Amino acid sequence: MKPRLMYGFHAVKARLRAAPQSVIEVWVDENRQDARMRDFLAVLAQAGLAAHMADGGRLDKMVGGARHQGVVAKVEPVKMARTLAEVIEAVEGAPLIIVLDGVTDPHNLGAVLRSADAFGAHAVIAPKDRAVGLNSTVEKVASGAAETVPYLMVTNLARSLDELKEFQVWTVAMEADAPRTLDKIDAKGGIAWVLGAEGWGLRQLTRKTCDDAARIPISGTVESLNVSVSAAICLYETARQRGVK
């Protein structure tokens, strides 16, 4: 894979701390001299790198007008687990996986990755044909989590769910009309929460392949939650049941 650009304080700082050798070049806004920029430059120096000074207009062009916060970096891809087997083999304890079916919004994926990192999930899985890949927007929203949580894009999602079962991971489809609420699911063992995009939901084959189904109890007027919010609730419920503090 070729080097690419990433931007934003959180995303670039996370890369500098996790894999400084993968950072090729960094550009910063020459007109930003606030405390946040000074802190970033200190992290950059600790990694043995110096910043190229550039005006805001040049940075805007580099990232197509995205909100870069005055920080842009050219990076090599980070090597993380590429297969389910590699993910599971590295797990100490019970695996915790998020599976996304049809999530194409980069902001949603970034938010899911951020929650996955916060609650100790071991991977996020999505199909290649109905999903957004890792890009600069995802990385910025993820605030560094794209550098720590493996994101596996698989050819056949149903087959991957079957593979999870072989690893003794219980697969749970999150659906609004499921008979049980998620707190009734035993999440102490290996578990994969399977979520669809808001509006579309899960594909029929995905739902049929799952071991179980659950719903998030909603008492207000809205009928559903954003997929990133739903994922965070599932992850919190897992942490609660496992006694994570």
Task: State pLDDT tens for residues 126-159.
Answer: 999 889 998 888 988 998 888 889 999 999 999 9
Domain shared by 152 and 40, yes or no: no
User: Do 150 and 142 meet the contact criterion of CB atoms below 8 Å apart?
Assistant: no
User: Do 37 and 114 belong to one domain?
Assistant: no
Cα–Cα distance between 202 and 174 in angstroms, integer? 8
Rounded Cα–Cα distance for residues 122 and 99 (Å): 11
Task: Report the number of secondary-structure helices (H) and strands (E) in the chain.
Answer: 9, 10
Q: Say whether both 126 and 232 belong to one domain.
A: yes
Domain encompassing residue 95 = 84-241
Helix (H, G, I), strand (E, B) or coil at 71: strand
Answer yes or no: do 160 and 58 share one domain.
no
Pairing of strands 212-214, 123-127: unpaired
pLDDT tens digits, one per residue of 45-75: 999 999 999 999 999 999 888 889 999 999 8
**Global pTM value:** 0.76
Above 90 in pLDDT, residue 121? yes
Last residue of a domain, one of 20, 51, 75: 75
Give the C-alpha separation, 140 to 38, whole Å: 19
Count structural domains, the chain. 2
* Domain boundary residue, one of 18, 43, 75: 75
Within this chain, do residues 94 and 159 fall inside the same structural domain, yes or no?
Answer: yes
Expressed in percent and rounded to 5, the helix, strand and coil fractions of the chain are 40, 20, 40
**Do 211 and 136 reside in the same domain of the chain?**
yes
The model's confidence at residue 19, banded by pLDDT at 50, 70 and 90, is confident
- Return the percentage of the chain with pLDDT > 70, whole number: 98
Give strand pairing partners of 197.
201
The DSSP line for 146-202 is GGTS-EEEES-HHHHHHHHHHTTPEEEEE-TT-SSBGGGS--SSSEEEEEEBTTTB-
Residue 137 host element (H or E): helix 136-142
Among residues 17, 48, 75, the one where a domain terminates is 75
140 and 62 housed in the same domain: no
Does one domain contain both 202 and 95? yes
